[in-house]
Amino acid sequence: MPVLTTDAESETGIPKSLSNEPPSETMEEIEHTCPQPRLTLTAPAPFADETSCQCQAPHEKLTIAQARLGTPVDRPVRVYADGIFDLFHSGHARALMQAKTLFPNSYLLVGVCSDDLTHKFKGFTVMNEAERYEALRHCRYVDEVIRDAPWTLTPEFLEKHKIDFVAHDDIPYSSAGSDDVYKHIKEAGMFIPTQRTEGISTSDIITRIVRDYDVYARRNLQRGYTAKELNVSFINEKKYRFQNQVDKMKEKVKNVEERSKEFVNRVEEKSHDLIQKWEEKSREFIGNFLELFGPDGAWKQMFQERSSRMLQAFSPKQSPVSSPTRSRSPSRSPSPTFSWLPIKTSPPSSPKAASASISSMSEGDEDEK
How, if at all, do strands 77-83 and 28-30 pair? unpaired
- Residue 58 is assigned to a structural domain of this protein: no
- Residue 121 is assigned to a structural domain of this protein: yes
Q: Are residues 146 and 171 located together in one domain of the fold? A: yes
Q: What is the DSSP letter of 225?
A: -
Q: Are residues 238 and 254 located together in one domain of the fold? A: yes
| Last residue of one domain, picked from the residues 150, 175, 199 | 199
Residue by residue, pLDDT tens for the chain (369 residues) are: 333 333 334 333 333 333 334 444 434 566 767 788 887 788 899 998 887 666 666 778 888 898 998 877 788 999 999 999 999 999 999 999 999 999 999 999 999 999 999 999 999 999 999 999 999 999 999 999 999 999 999 999 999 999 999 999 998 888 767 889 999 999 999 999 999 999 999 999 999 999 999 989 988 988 999 999 988 888 988 888 888 888 888 888 988 988 888 888 888 888 888 888 888 888 888 877 777 776 766 766 777 777 787 777 777 666 555 555 555 544 544 545 444 444 445 555 555 555 555 555 555 554 444
Nearest to 109 by CA among 100, 121, 98: 100
- Residue 53 is assigned to a structural domain of this protein: no
Domains identified in the chain, total number: 2
Q: Are residues 80 and 146 located together in one domain of the fold? A: yes
- Residue 26 is assigned to a structural domain of this protein: no
Q: Are residues 69 and 194 located together in one domain of the fold? A: yes
Nearest to 46 by CA among 133, 157, 106, 131: 133
Q: What is the DSSP letter of 313?
A: H
Q: Are residues 136 and 75 located together in one domain of the fold? A: yes
Q: Are residues 72 and 194 located together in one domain of the fold? A: yes
- Residue 16 is assigned to a structural domain of this protein: no
What letter represents residue 281's amino acid? K
Which residues share a beta bridge with 30?
A: 3
Q: Are residues 208 and 180 located together in one domain of the fold? A: no
Q: Are residues 212 and 165 located together in one domain of the fold? A: no
Which residues share a beta bridge with 145?
A: 47, 110
pLDDT at 340: 45
**Global pTM?**
0.60
pLDDT at 301: 73
- Residue 46 is assigned to a structural domain of this protein: no
CB contact at 8 A, 51 and 72: no
Q: Are residues 70 and 136 located together in one domain of the fold? A: yes
Sheet containing strand 77-83, strands side by side: 144-147, 106-112, 77-83, 165-169, 191-194
- Residue 327 is assigned to a structural domain of this protein: no
- Long-range CB pairs of 128-135 (<8 Å, 24+ gap) are 132/84, 132/85, 132/86, 132/88, 133/47, 134/44, 135/85, 135/88
Range(s) of the domain holding residue 195: 64-199
- Residue 311 is assigned to a structural domain of this protein: no
Residue 252 C-alpha from the chain's centroid: 23
How many CB atoms are closer than 10 A to CB 185?
20
Peptide bond into 348 cis (omega under 30): no
Domain CATH for 111: 3.40.50.620
Q: Are residues 217 and 151 located together in one domain of the fold? A: no
CB contact at 8 A, 100 and 136: no
pLDDT at 131: 97
| Last residue of one domain, picked from the residues 304, 325, 346 | 304
Q: Are residues 144 and 229 located together in one domain of the fold? A: no
Give residue 162's region: left, alpha or beta (phi > 0; psi -120 to 50).
Answer: left
Q: Are residues 222 and 191 located together in one domain of the fold? A: no
The gap between the terminal CA atoms of the chain, to the nearest Å, is 169
| Last residue of one domain, picked from the residues 199, 231, 253 | 199
